[in-house]
C-alpha cells in the first residue's frame, strides 16, 4: 500500500518535471515562432520529446 503510494508520487513528480521544458528549448521555440503560441507549444513538445529520445534527462 505504502509502496504504491510512493510509486504514484514519483510518477507524478516525473510527469511534472517533463512539463517544464529546459530553458534553451523554450527560448529557441519562442524565438522561432514568436506570437504563434500554438506552434510554440507544439515546438516545445517535439523538441522536448526528441531530447528525451536521445537520452537526455531534465
Closest CA to 29 of 20, 15, 42, 17: 42
Q: Are the C-beta atoms of 47 and 28 separated by less than 8 Å?
A: yes
* pTM recorded for the entire structure: 0.61
51, with CB counted inside 10 A (0-12, 13-18, 19+), is middle
User: What is the per-residue pLDDT for 30?
Assistant: 92
Residue-averaged pLDDT of the chain? 81
Residue 46 reports pLDDT greater than 90: yes
| Residues spanned by the domain of 49 | 21-58
Distance CA 1, CA 26 (A): 39
User: What is the per-residue pLDDT for 32?
Assistant: 94
Q: What percent of the chain has pLDDT over 90?
A: 28
The structural domain count of the chain equals 1
Residue 17 reports pLDDT greater than 60: no
Query: Looking at the domain assignment, is residue 7 inside a domain?
Result: no
Query: Looking at the domain assignment, is residue 12 inside a domain?
Result: no
User: What is the per-residue pLDDT for 21?
Assistant: 82
Query: Looking at the domain assignment, is residue 2 inside a domain?
Result: no
Amino acid at each position: 500500500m505504502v509502496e504504491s503510494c510512493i510509486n504514484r508520487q514519483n510518477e507524478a513528480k516525473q510527469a511534472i518535471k517533463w512539463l517544464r521544458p529546459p530553458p534553451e528549448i523554450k527560448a529557441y521555440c519562442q524565438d522561432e515562432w514568436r506570437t504563434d503560441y500554438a506552434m510554440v507549444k507544439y515546438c516545445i513538445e517535439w523538441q522536448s520529446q526528441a531530447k528525451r529520445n536521445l537520452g537526455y534527462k531534465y
